[in-house]
Structure 1
Amino acid sequence: KRIMKGVVAGVRDYGNKMGIPTVNGAICFHPDYLGNPLVYCGNVGIMPKDCSFKKVSPGDLIVLVGGKTGRDGIHGATFSSYELNQASEEISSHSVQIGNPITEKKLVDALLKARQQKLYSAITDCGGGGLSSAVGEMGEGTGVRVDLDKVPLKYQGLSYTEIWISEAQERMILAVPPQNLISLQKIFKKEEVELTVIGEFTSDRKLKLYYQGNLVCDLDMEFLHKGLPSIVRKAKWKRHIHSQPEIEQKQNYTQDLLQLLSSYNIASKEWVIRQYDHEVQGGSVIKPLVGIDNDGPSDAAVVRPILYSKKAVAVANGINPLYGLIDPYWMAGACIDEAIRQLVAVGCNPERIALLDNFCWADTDREEILGELVRCALGCYEFALAYGTPFISGKDSLNNEFHYYNKRIAIPPTLLISSIGVIDDVEKCVTMDFKRNGNLIYIVGETRNELGGSQYYYWLYKKLGDNLPKIRPDMGKRVFQAIYEGIQKGYIISCHDLSEGGLAVALAEMCFAGGLGASVFLNEVPCENSLKDYEILFSESNSRFLIEVNKNKKDEIEKIFNEYKVPYGLIGCTDTTSQLVIYGSGGNQIITADIYKLKQAWQSSLNW
């Protein structure tokens, strides 16, 4: 709890002060994260097309801008991929960078002004490896000469090695034509941001470092970038069989639904979201929380970066480490499917979506762990091709294990898929909350007996199960297109994807977010074969949506579904009773709950 509060405080402190809206996210809980809590962070920006290409020329100056260099952050990138133990806090504390958001904000403002005047020809940040990586990568095709004693320091006493590899924050490297230096210096002086010329790009394809007039490094760029032979490791994949929980059919599942809604992975994250500024810059169209009281869980965020345009950018994510414990290949597919369908749920064109991957894994020196990673990467490759969604960036962090004497805590195989899409007209976007009394409720997509890795198995029966959700891209693509067309034509006025907790949780969320009740009949849900009531309620089969349709548009929406040949069912309608009533396959009421009681269960667990 202390660590989680610290992470939230860090994101809040930096993001809010930078004036960047924090609009989307997820939080997953599992006991195997105790040794290595994971924190993902991503951002999206826009830029002029003609600024998207970088070119470094011999004679360009190497200009370091932003914060000063200190010992904080040394080996930060390698530390993040080390195995941890009980001594890590003491001996590796210097690996954690000390951030200063005000310095970063001033740096960004200065860089934008310089970009408008085209004063630099290339730029990169000092991330992992610090100057060694930033300068070394930029000068790969030319060569560099760097005077390390010119680098501004936070304090004296750093060796030239520490200066070269420090990962202190808020620093950027620019390639600047000499004739632009004076104009650049004026901008940075006005913005009160430090600027120092530390060297120049050469034409000899060598990395030369000087310190106090002495040559301390002389390496060929060819050797630096390609001299190290590739590491060859063995990978082994063995499918682990997990036992299925023994579940007896119940007469009533209301208590099960309440337990699921209050479980940490499903419960409201409003306590976290409210600490982040998701309104700054004024472009947020669909925010993290929606509904009549602005406290329902949004599927994706929609941001309009250019305020006078109807065009917008939508961002979402998909993550489920429980699936990775069963089969990382299908976890990859499920995460990709979820990341796509969350964008589709707000009105994003499924043909204009791109993805990013972020792998966090245990010790890949072990064959079976590397085998899991290879299998997950294979899933990313195959399902990205199947859905036509390119990966445009990514990252990884390996060896996330904690050793304490003879005990080892390894994180579960974890893949975060982030998705981004373009929305042509924000006025056609929809949110997940039910809107009006008497409207029709449809489920689109097929429900199967796929509860392996589900929240239902995990939280209520402490089991993983084995029948995890599969991906059927041909059907998924048709479902996505049908939902998109229905939203664009105005037939679908609310849409929510089915993920953690399945149909029952999605229904509850749509009801209490909209302040409306609903009556739903499970025998109208399109299923593979005959399923038990709990399987229909809590299965997490992919490529499924719950939608609200105007009662006068029944024929129109069903025509779209039939044209795309997708499974669908008219399962109920909204009402003003403030009750969610679900009828089982036999016609009896199996869930009867006040929507405000459901909401209370959902909001109570993480109200820290």
Structure 2
Amino acid sequence: MINRIEVSSKISNTQKIGVYTIKKDLNQNQLKKIASSLTNPVYQDFKINQPTLVKKFFWGIETGFLPGVTDNVASTVKEIIKDQLKIKFNENEGVFSSQLLLISEQLNEKDIIKISQGLINPLIQRVHFKTQKEYLKDKGMDRIVPQVKLTSANQVDEVDLNVSDEELTRIGKSGIKNKDGSTRGPLALDLSYIKTIKNYFQKLGRNPTDIELESIAQTWSEHCHHTIFADPIDEIKNGLFNNYIKRATVEIRKKKGKRDLCTSVFTDNSGGIKFDKDYIISHKVETHNSPSALDPFGGAITGIVGVNRDAIGFDMGAKPIVNYYGFCFADPNLKSLIFRDKEKKQSLLSPRRILDGVVAGVNSGSNCSGIPTPQGFLYFDNKYQGKPLVFVGTVGLIPKKSSAIKKARPGDYIVMVGGRVGQDGIHGATFSSEALSAGSPTGAVQIGDPITQKKLSDVIIKEARDQKLYNSITDNGAGGLSCSVAEMAKESNGVAVDLEKVPLKYPGLEPWKIWVSESQERMTLSVPKNKWKKFSELMKNRDVKATIIGEFNDSGHCVVNYHKKIIMDIDMKFLHDGLPVRRMKTVHIKNVFKEPVIPQLKNLNEVLLSMMQRLNITGFEFVSKQYDHEVQANSVIKPLQGKGKVNGETSVVKPIFDSPHAMAISQGLYPSYSEIDCYQMAGASIDTAIRNLVAAGVNIDKIALLDNFCWCSSNDPQRLYQLKKAAEACYDFAKIYETPFISGKDSMFNDFKGYDEKSNPIKISVPPTLLISSIGIIEDVLKTISIDVKFPSDLFYILGETKDELGGSEYFAMNNSVGNNVPKVNGLKNKKLYSAFYKASQNTSFCFP
């Protein structure tokens, strides 16, 4: 039986109604108990299997999720019902939420269609409407149950690679063909990659199965394997990452010796540094750009809860203590529309809707997880209209006594904990390795469930970790089980998976989808057999799903079984290291912009007011106030400072109550410099990220960095040259400041290929963007420095020199110019200045801004 509960306000002219559709046989008393639990009796009322009526309305519009989309409200209601009535739901039963609007204005159908389209994102939501007459005749809206109904036969297909190069190219680009001629989605494999796969299976004397090809594509994707940073480029044989980023850190750590603050770099889910004698701090910043372009809320919430899992998966499990964000958008007032298809049926969301959705997504993910979010930034440029950049980060904390070398051992159980697997997130890794276009799969978008993840996080961090119930742990992110299990299998050198044991959201999911699905709130652990019983009981007591899905071994192969039949058997070395090396070449074409002629300024007050109104200078208090920064009670320097509530560029937290130590985070980002000089752009980003921490009272010797490269058209030799120069600057300035890189991420194809309002083909590429995040340790929290002026008689000092370097500045942009003279960082001079400032700041007779 399908039941419907509508919860509305007792105020007669309110038309927004919460709807809960329950597919389960329940009696009237049970339904009343449920409805009462969902209703605030002071100002709300409810109807059970009856329509809500108001005195005056002309239209009813109902919105809800499409089948398979995560519905967090419905999940919570389902838990309420189970707890209250002490009942269970079978796989064919469920709860679904929706919103009903009763429109009191007398509008025509054309207007209602426009309103309906504005209320939803058609990639994840449904909408239907009725006139008042239809509503009354039908006794309300239809009872819709958006359940997934799959008709596939759970079969595994062979993929014939003995075809022409043209067909191989098509497979690599568009994916495996279904029997009806449609394709499954991008594999992001170029011809050299797919030929290498073809040769491997020819030597085995067989074709690959669909799950094997999908798994290799995920593992070799730019998103997961970072091939552009790894492969040779020009004279650099060992790649940009090894030659610049990693080498800088190795040399800095060696030079510092006993002063080295790093504990883990580049090998774990996050980077780690020493906090004090008893604790380690981890930090990781991720991007979630492509999903956020399609579904801003889902992309952002999935991003933030995903990077939370990078903290939980650091070492043996770190507690997330701080969240971080950074958003690059087009002007939210931009009115022009762009489309993914020539027929203009697939409109990209407006910059305003993307901004609102992303902000709300991080809000929901952070606040519901009980993690403070004190620091972040917003940056605006219309080149981000095609694909926004969504940076999300998490700082974690783990006691040194809980730290250990994690390693999956042969004989350990493979245990998946957390949420179930569905179709959401299919091809997320490969989709993010390409430009956004009409062929981008809508199924690559997920919506995170922070409540489910909070239960998972707490039981891991607060109990299972310190009881030493597992040997290794990692996140289920991009690529799902395909990535997490195969990555952990490198620790033991082999794995055997029983795929039919994976818990599913609904029956009928094809094996390859189970393997690569990126359904959220999942971790993979290696649990010794003699600890499984205790681990299992603990998870059950905390209402966290834990399932054995196979065993780690030392066979040298990644083997996946499905109902006792081998459907995947790939050599571990080939899976992880078999991809061909591509030698990249760069081309240097210097961009020269017209140098603006700015007249002598007569009224600096007007200029100042105009500058303060610019999107990249004005505050974003409206974001900071939405994000809880006081939860966990660790804030020292808060996101808004002074009487004017000014957004600070550095936040400080004190995670251990009885320790004088504090931790500071900040960032630097200058995409407006990129088209002029990417070397100086990177230098300015590093310098700013460090300077912001020094200004808050951090010793430059206690700072570490993270790099996030968000590039565009990264197969273009000119863009590769810019990338090379930015990476070179990372090495040079990190070495000068002796600030090691501990973690990073790259997203290399932030381009949009589509059509404008006149159906003309367009390509929009983000400016080459490098976010440098900084983290530092303050040994005495009482010497932390905030930006607000302390006394009326305080003097202002400018440290450093001001030069004729306005290229890429906001002032030039305000005058519709770019210029050529970007600021050039003098690292050696600045380091002396920052060290001197820090020494002065330790003298409490001084007061600093």
Normalising by structure 2, what TM-score?
0.57
Give me the whole-angstrom Cα distance separating, in 2, the residues matched to 1:492 and 1:366. 52
Q: Structure 2: how far apart are the matches of 1:170 and 1:363?
A: 32
In 2: Cα distance, 1:363 partner to 1:251 partner: 43
1:203: which partner in 2?
554
Q: In structure 2, how many angstroms separate the alpha carbons of the residues matched to 1:370 and 1:184? A: 48
Residue 822 of structure 2 is matched in structure 1 by 468
2:449 alignment partner in structure 1: 100
The equivalent position to 1:441 in structure 2, one of 775, 784, 796, is: 796
1:191 and 1:55 map into 2 onto residues whose CA distance is: 25
Are 1:230 and 2:581 counterparts?
Answer: yes
Of 568, 580, 592, which aligns to 1:241? Answer: 592
**How far apart, in 1, do the equivalents of 2:800 and 2:356 lie?**
38
Q: Aligned pairs, how many?
A: 490
- What pairs up with 1:491-570 in 2 under 5 angstroms? 491-495=845-849
Picking from 646, 665, 675, the partner of 1:325 is: 675
Q: What is the alpha-carbon distance in structure 2 between the residues aligned to residue 383 and residue 75 of structure 1?
A: 37
1:309 paired to 2:663: no
- AA paired with 1:174? L
Shift of 1:115: 0.2
Question: Equivalent residue for 1:430?
Answer: 785
The aligned counterpart of 1:20 is 371
2:357 is paired with a residue whose SS is helix
Confirm or deny: 8 A CA contact 1:207 1:221 kept in the other structure.
Answer: yes
Which among 490, 493, 513 is matched to residue 844 of structure 2? Answer: 490
Q: CA deviation at 1:378?
A: 1.2
Do the aligned residues in 2 keep the contact of 1:74 with 1:95 (CA within 8 Å)? yes
Runs of at least 4 residues of structure 1 off by over 4 A? none
Matched with 2:407 is 55
The one-letter amino acid of 1:396's match is: D
In the other structure, the counterpart of 1:134 is 484
Q: What SS does structure 1 have at the residue aligned with 2:675?
A: helix
1:76 to 407, 428, 433: 428
Q: SS state of the match for residue 718, structure 2?
A: helix
Please tell me the residue identity of whatever aligns with 1:137: E
Stretch of structure 1 that moved more, 269-278 or 236-245? 236-245
Task: Report deviation, 1:325.
Answer: 2.0
Alignment-mate amino acid for residue 476 of structure 1: N
Name the counterpart of 2:150.
none
What is the CA-CA distance between 1:488 and the residue it aligns to?
A: 1.1
Q: 1:41 aligns with which of 374, 384, 392?
A: 392
Aligned to 1:383: 733
What's the secondary structure of 1:372's corresponding residue? helix
Q: Does 1:452 align with 2:807?
A: yes
Equivalent pair of 1:299/1:432 in contact (CA under 8 Å): no
Note the residue ranges of structure 1 that are not aligned, 5 or more in a row.
496-608
Equivalent in the alignment of 1:111: 460
The residue type paired with residue 843 of structure 2 is K
Number of the residue aligned with 1:65? 417
- Structure 2 residue aligned with 1:501: none
Asked if the contact 1:237/1:375 (under 8 Å) is kept, the reply is no
Deviations 1:14-59 (A, max 9, x none): 1000001011111110010000011000111111235252112111
Aligned-residue CA RMSD (Å): 1.2
Which whole-Å CA distance do the structure 2 matches of 1:188 and 1:209 have between them?
A: 25
SS at match of 2:559: strand
**Is the contact made by 1:299 and 1:346 (CA closer than 8 Å) also made in structure 2?**
no
* Mapped contact 1:71–1:166 kept (Cα < 8 A): yes
Q: 1:107 to 1:392 in 2, by over 3 A?
A: same
Q: Secondary structure at the match of 1:42?
A: strand
Paired residue secondary structure (2:497): strand
Give, in angstroms, the shift of residue 77 of structure 1: 2.2
Query: SS at the partner of 1:40?
Result: strand
RCO (CA 8 Å, sep 6+): is it higher in 1 or 2?
1
**What is the aligned partner in structure 2 of residue 191 from structure 1?**
542
Question: Structure 1 residue 399 and structure 2 residue 754: aligned?
Answer: no
Aligned equivalent of 1:257: 608
> Which deviates further from its counterpart, 338-347 or 235-244?
235-244
- Which whole-Å deviations, capped at 9, do the CAs of 1:86-143 have from their partners, x for residues lacking one? x35xx52210122100011000011111001011111000111111111111111420
Q: Which amino acid aligns with 2:575?
A: L
Q: Which residue of 1 aligns with 2:159?
A: none
Q: Which residue of 2 aligns with 1:170?
A: 521
For 2:504, the equivalent position in structure 1 comes to 153
Question: How big is the shift at 1:82?
Answer: 1.8
Q: In the superposition, relative to structure 1, how do residues 457 and 427 fare at CA in structure 2: closer, same or farther (>3 Å)?
A: same
CA distance in 1, matches of 2:659, 2:403: 21
The answer to whether residue 646 in structure 2 is matched with residue 296 in structure 1 is: yes
The CA deviation at 1:160 is 0.9
Q: 1-side partners of 2:579 and 2:846: how far apart?
A: 56
Report the Cα offset of residue 152 of structure 1: 0.7
Which one-letter code corresponds to 2:716 in the other structure? R
Letter matched to residue 76 of structure 1: G
Could you tell me which runs of 5 or more consecutive residues in structure 2 were left unpaired when the two chains were aligned: 1-351, 756-760
1:190-248, Cα deviation, whole Å (9 max, x unpaired): 11010000001112111110011110011111111111122222222222111111111
Secondary structure, counterpart of 2:464 in structure 1: helix
